[in-house]
């Protein structure tokens, strides 16, 4: 390829040498992955392959020649004149439209002080992103100052667009250039379009000039680039001069679909195609930029449809008149007639509102142009006839494998019902019926909730019902397993048809189906037991997850373990012993006689005569008609007064300090802390103050205190203090039960 043959004059050489050095920014040019996953190796511009460098050198030559001639000195104020465009005659089609100015820059402007540019009154800029080399290789190259310019221009508050100088000779290469731009733009948003700069190489011949492409083929390059860049979500545009737009590409046709930026260094232009930006000079002088810079005037062209729309509603069909030239319509819905959201799009002039739950609708026409929808005025608001009834009494039961039957009470005035399912992120209409039941089928139904909306005879929807969770094929709960001597007992699962007890041990693995909530273990078989609830559907068992496991290693007679008795609010509580079949509660008389007053299976005994009476308890089991008992537990009496006025002294970081009033004859105090899951013994102290730590991440924390003493083998307790809330209040407590000794016994 031949370059400029003539040697540069001394004047141009002097100008080039006096310019600031052109160099890459500090950004690292490496592989960058675009939004479509395409990777590009970004390399800086080779000036010998950059057609715009030829124009840059020519501009320097003209500047040097002008500054050394009388005519040039006379015209020294011309760049300032260009900056304001006062000599331009604008096309009458733009009468009454807002106008603004825009500069376009590349690395050949060297460093730019974008704050100074902004302060000068220029708000818009088009930054060169890159070029395709005009040599036969057609290398894609990034502008050396692209990343610096886009970052600093946006930081200065400029409205930013970009352009790419093409030398593509096929539609595939044009799309590749769009992918390249998208990769370089992936971290940036744009206020202005991505322009496709298509032109001949000035002062030399480029690969596009030599390609011999037809008028139609060169037009197709522009469409290929613009369509591809719009697929990434950017506005698109074509930059070309008047000759290209009228003779080498179909400018008027392109202008119907993409923004058009016309280059014509004239005081007025006569171009019949649609355009909204005119580059009228390359001689502007702008604060913050060294040397001259290209400048354009921007017209605030309205691309939206102008036809006034009138909407009306007939049953479920919203319809309106046609807007001339509209590409489509968007329907909006509102519940209050003022705040509207998009309900859907339509290509024709009607929209079915079935499934939409709005009280008002309106529509707007749009034109899709340069990667963006341009909307006309909204139509009138159309009110939906109201029907305010709500379906109630929803219930659900399994009707088969992956099938459930939803039922509800009849709704006044309802002629039909729509049934919906939702998983919280998406909602689906699964059917409609005139009955008061509907079968829903599908996998993983337990992940969904269902609701119903009634419709009257006019097709107007009422209020949606409350949502109901759909059941899985498996039971809704998991049994909780406990051992009582040789007996396993578990909690009931409401919808279970039965239970399966599984044993695993040295003797093998076995399963037993049980209808009730208990099972006797074989004393001769040591091993592990667990329980599953099941449901029968179409002859198949669907099991819940397994319960907790119970390790069984025979049974000891009498039960093995030591009982520790405690007193709560109106009840006795004690620890569980695995081998026990039950527990006997005793009152201890003044002369020491042990009087059995109750036999219980659990680990608690409630009585209204707890205060002042000494109690003890022991566990038992039976074999071959004979009972075996443990040693008696410690003796307990509630005789001390309650601890009053527990107070929070300080709270810092994750640590609280509390205090309380002392009790006469009290040996120690037990401090119980609740973090929202029940009270647990935290510490025992002899004084009337305690430090409670580890509260940094707690959302709720409360404390209660009770005193105790020990004399002659009897533990004397007092009643509990007030609940002291260290974090949160009674209303914010996750577990509303005031005190649960079950937590203490586990």
List, for residues 178-191, the tens digit of each pLDDT value.
999 999 999 899 99
Of 113-122, 277-286, 307-316, 736-745, the poorest mean pLDDT is in 736-745
User: pLDDT digit string (tens) for 502-549?
Assistant: 999 887 888 999 999 999 888 778 889 999 999 999 999 999 999 999
**C-alpha span between 55 and 603 (Å, rounded):** 95
What pLDDT score does 78 carry? 42
Q: Closest Cα partner for 721 from 667, 675, 661, 665?
A: 661
- Please give the C-alpha separations between residue 606 and each of 232, 599, 609, 619, in angstroms, as whole numbers: 72, 12, 9, 17
Q: Closest Cα partner for 672 from 603, 616, 606, 726?
A: 726
User: pLDDT digit string (tens) for 38-65?
Assistant: 567 778 888 888 778 777 777 776 666 6
- Please give the C-alpha separations between residue 75 and each of 72, 517, 538, 650, in angstroms, as whole numbers: 5, 104, 96, 81
Q: For residue 487, what pLDDT band results from cuts at 50, 70 and 90? A: confident
Of 2-6, 88-92, 313-317, 344-348, the poorest mean pLDDT is in 2-6
Once rounded to an integer, what is the mean pLDDT over residues 321-340?
A: 91
Contact criterion met (CB below 8 Å) for 519 and 552: no
User: pLDDT digit string (tens) for 239-257?
Assistant: 999 999 999 999 999 999 9
User: pLDDT digit string (tens) for 414-473?
Assistant: 999 999 999 989 999 999 999 999 999 999 999 999 999 999 987 878 899 999 999 999
Residue 279 has pLDDT above 80, yes or no: yes
For 741, the 3-state DSSP assignment is: coil
Residues 6+ apart with CB under 8 A from 12: 57, 60, 61, 64
Contact criterion met (CB below 8 Å) for 336 and 267: no
Once rounded to an integer, what is the mean pLDDT over residues 251-278?
A: 93
Rg (CA), the chain: 42
How many CB atoms sit inside 10 A of residue 541's CB? 15
User: pLDDT digit string (tens) for 674-702?
Assistant: 988 778 889 999 999 999 998 888 889 99
User: pLDDT digit string (tens) for 726-744?
Assistant: 998 888 777 544 444 344 3
Contact criterion met (CB below 8 Å) for 284 and 82: yes
Apex CA 531: angle with CA 529 and CA 534, to 5°? 155
Tokens of 620: 């038992």
Cis, peptide link before residue 558, omega less than 30° from 0: yes
Of 13-17, 413-417, 580-584, the poorest mean pLDDT is in 13-17
> HEC states along 544-604?
CCCCCCEEECCCCCCCCCCCCEEECCCEEEECCCCCCCEEEEEEECCCCCEEEEEEECCCE
Once rounded to an integer, what is the mean pLDDT over residues 592-596?
A: 91
What pLDDT score does 77 carry? 42
For 354, the 3-state DSSP assignment is: coil
257: Cα separation from own chain's centroid: 34
Residue 104 has pLDDT above 60, yes or no: yes
What are the structural domains of the chain? 10-17+27-89+96-299 (3.20.20.80), 311-383 (2.60.40.10), 395-469 (2.60.40.10), 481-552 (2.60.40.10), 565-637 (2.60.40), 641-745 (2.60.40.10)
What pLDDT score does 16 carry? 36
Residue 666 has pLDDT above 70, yes or no: yes
Tokens of 49: 């392959």
């Amino acid at each position: 390829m031949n370059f400029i043959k003539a040697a540069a004059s001394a004047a141009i050489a002097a100008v080039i040498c006096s310019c600031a050095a052109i160099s890459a920014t500090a950004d690292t040019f490496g592989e960058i992955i675009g939004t479509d996953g395409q990777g590009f190796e970004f390399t800086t511009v080779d000036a010998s392959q950059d057609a715009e460098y030829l124009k840059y050198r020519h501009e320097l030559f003209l500047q040097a020649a002008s500054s050394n001639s009388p005519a040039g000195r006379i015209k020294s104020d011309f760049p300032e004149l260009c900056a304001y465009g006062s000599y331009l005659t604008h096309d009458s089609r733009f009468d009454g439209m807002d106008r603004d100015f825009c500069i376009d820059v590349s690395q050949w402007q060297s460093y730019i002080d974008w704050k100074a540019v902004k302060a000068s009154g220029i708000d818009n800029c088009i930054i060169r992103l890159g070029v395709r080399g005009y040599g036969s290789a057609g290398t894609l190259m990034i502008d050396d100052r692209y990343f610096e310019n886009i970052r600093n221009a946006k930081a200065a508050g400029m409205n930013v667009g970009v352009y790419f100088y093409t030398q593509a000779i096929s539609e595939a290469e044009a799309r590749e250039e769009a992918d390249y731009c998208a990769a370089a733009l992936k971290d940036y948003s744009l206020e202005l379009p991505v322009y496709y700069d298509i032109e001949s190489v000035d002062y030399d011949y480029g690969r596009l000039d030599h390609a011999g492409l037809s008028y139609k083929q060169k037009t197709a390059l522009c469409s290929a680039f613009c369509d591809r860049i719009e697929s990434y979500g950017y506005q698109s545009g074509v930059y070309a001069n008047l000759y290209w737009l009228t003779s080498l590409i179909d400018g008027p046709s392109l202008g119907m679909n993409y923004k058009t930026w016309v280059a014509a260094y004239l005081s007025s232009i006569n171009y019949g195609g649609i355009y909204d930006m005119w580059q009228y000079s390359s001689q502007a002088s702008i604060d913050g930029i060294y040397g001259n810079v290209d400048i354009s005037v921007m017209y605030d062209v309205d691309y939206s449809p102008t036809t006034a729309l009138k909407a009306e509603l007939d049953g479920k069909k919203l319809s309106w008149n046609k807007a001339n030239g509209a590409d489509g319509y968007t329907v909006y819905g509102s519940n209050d007639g003022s705040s509207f959201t998009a309900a859907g799009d339509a290509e024709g002039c009607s929209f079915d509102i079935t499934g939409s739950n709005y009280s008002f609708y309106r529509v707007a026409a749009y034109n899709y142009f340069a990667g963006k929808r341009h909307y006309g005025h909204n139509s009138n608001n159309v009110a939906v006839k109201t029907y305010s009834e709500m379906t109630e009494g929803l219930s659900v039961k399994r009707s088969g494998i992956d099938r459930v039957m939803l039922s509800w009470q009849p709704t006044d005035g309802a002629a039909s019902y729509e049934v919906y399912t939702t998983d919280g992120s998406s909602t689906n209409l699964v059917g409609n019926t005139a009955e008061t039941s509907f079968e829903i089928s599908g996998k993983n139904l337990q992940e969904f909730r269902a609701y119903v909306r009634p419709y009257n005879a006019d097709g107007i929807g009422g209020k949606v019902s409350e949502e109901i969770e759909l059941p899985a094929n498996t039971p809704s709960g998991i049994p909780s397993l406990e051992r009582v001597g040789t007996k396993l007992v578990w909690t009931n699962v409401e919808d279970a048809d039965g239970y399966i007890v599984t044993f695993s041990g040295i003797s093998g693995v076995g399963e037993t189906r049980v209808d009730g909530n208990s099972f006797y273990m074989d004393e001769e078989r040591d091993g592990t037991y667990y329980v599953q609830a099941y449901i029968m559907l179409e002859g198949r068992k669907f099991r819940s997850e397994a319960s907790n496991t119970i390790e069984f290693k025979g049974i000891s007679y009498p039960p093995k373990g030591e009982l520790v008795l405690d007193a709560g609010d109106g009840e006795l509580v004690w620890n569980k012993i695995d081998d026990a079949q039950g527990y006997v509660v005793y009152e201890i008389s003044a002369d020491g006689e042990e009087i059995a007053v109750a036999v219980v299976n659990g680990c608690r005994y409630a009585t209204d005569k707890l205060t002042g009476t000494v109690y003890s308890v022991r566990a038992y089991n039976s074999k071959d008609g004979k009972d075996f008992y443990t040693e008696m537990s410690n003796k307990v009496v509630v005789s001390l007064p309650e601890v009053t006025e527990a107070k929070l002294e300080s709270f810092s970081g994750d640590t609280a300090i509390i205090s309380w009033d002392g009790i006469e004859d009290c040996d120690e105090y037990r401090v119980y802390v609740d973090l929202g899951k029940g009270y647990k013994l935290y510490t025992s102290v002899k004084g009337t103050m305690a430090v409670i730590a580890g509260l940094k991440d707690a959302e709720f924390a409360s404390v209660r205190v009770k005193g105790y003493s020990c004399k002659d083998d009897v533990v004397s307790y007092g009643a509990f203090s007030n609940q002291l809330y260290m974090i949160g209040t009674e209303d914010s407590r996750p577990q509303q039960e005031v005190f649960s000794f079950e937590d203490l016994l586990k």
